[in-house]
Amino acid sequence: MTVSKRNKLLEVKHLKQYFNIGRSDEVKAVDDISFYINQGETFGLVGESGCGKSTTGRSIIRLYNPTSGEINFDGENVASINGRDRMNQFRRDVQMIYQDPYASLNPRMKVRDIIAEGIDIHKLAKNVGERNKRVDELLKLVGLDPSHGTRYPHEFSGGQRQRIGIARALAVEPKFIICDEPISALDVSIQAQVVNLLQELQEKQQLTYLFIAHDLSMVKYISDRIGVMYYGKLVEVGSAEEIYKYGLHPYTESLLSAIPLPDPEYERHRVRTTYKPEKTTATDLSLREISEDHYVYCSESAVPKYQEKLQEMKKQ
C-alpha cells in the first residue's frame, strides 16, 4: 500500500490481534491490516459489529498487546515505549472517546473531577484555581455551562454526557483521539450535533481522529479517508468521496445499499444488497491499488476486473 507524502501521525503495519477462547479455539479479531492516518485528518473505520474496529482502536492505545505487527505513532513504535515518563506522554498524546456515555463516566464523581482527572494525573495545573479555570474552559469549549461542573453524570442527557467525555479527552491536550463509536448510543437528533462539535474541535485544536462507526453515511460526513472492515480484514480503503460514490468491494456495496435516503420514491424501489463472501482459491489476497489511493482487498488477477468496474461506474 503506497504511503502518502503528507506527515503521517499514525501508521499501522500488518496488525494482528488474536484471542484464544478455550483450549484450542482462536478468534482472529484483527487479521493483518495496514493503514496510515495523516496529521490533521480523520480516518473513518467502518463495518458491522464484531468486525474488529474497536479492537483495532484498543490495540493502538495499548489496551491490548498485538499478536504481531507494528504500530507507529509520531515516528515511534508504540510497543517499544517503556518507562513512566514516556508512557505518560503517550497517554497524553493519544486519548479515546468511548461508545457508551453512560458507562464511561464514574457516577460517584462530580463532572468537574471527571474532566480534571487527567489534569491531576499529569500535573498540568499548578493549583486548584488553575485546575478549575481549565475545567470551566473545557466545559465552554464543548458547549456546556461552567456551572455544570458541580453536578453528577446522572443529571445529564446522553448527548451532554458525551460532551463531558469529549472534554475529559481534551483536558490533557492530545494530538490524536480514537473516537470509538461515539454517537451510536445517542438519539439520531443528537448525533449530528456531536459530530459537528468534533469537527469544530478538530479545527480549533489541530486534532487527528480515528473515527470508528458502523454507519457509512455518518463516517463519510466526518472523514477524509475511509477504511471498510469485514471480519478482521480491511477490504477497501480510499477517500471518503471515492468510497461513498464508487465503492467497489461487494461488502462495501452492501453497506452503501443499506443507507436510506429522504426520498419516498427511491426508498420504494431501493434494492438492498446482501454480501455473500465468494469462495476463492487465490493465495495472494491483499489490498491492491485500483486507482490512485483507492485500494481493494483482492488477488492480482482481480485488479483489471475492479478497474473496469470503476470505469463503468464513473460513466453512469
* Distance separating alpha carbons of residues 297 and 287, to the nearest angstrom: 4
> Predicted confidence band at 95 (pLDDT cuts at 50, 70, 90)?
very high
Task: Read off the DSSP letter of residue 146.
Answer: G
**C-alpha dihedral over 27, 29, 35, 36, to 10 degrees?**
-130
The pTM score is: 0.92
Instruction: Quick: pLDDT tens for 35-60.
Output: 999 999 999 999 999 999 999 999 99
pLDDT confidence of residue 6 = 64
pLDDT confidence of residue 278 = 81
Q: Where are the domains of the chain?
A: 8-245
> Does the structure show a pLDDT above 90 at 274?
no
Instruction: Quick: pLDDT tens for 134-146.
Output: 999 999 999 999 9
**φ and ψ of 130, to 5 deg:** -65, -40
pLDDT confidence of residue 265 = 82
Domain formed by 8-245, architecture: 3-Layer(aba) Sandwich (3.40)
**Amino acid (1-letter code) at residue 131:** R
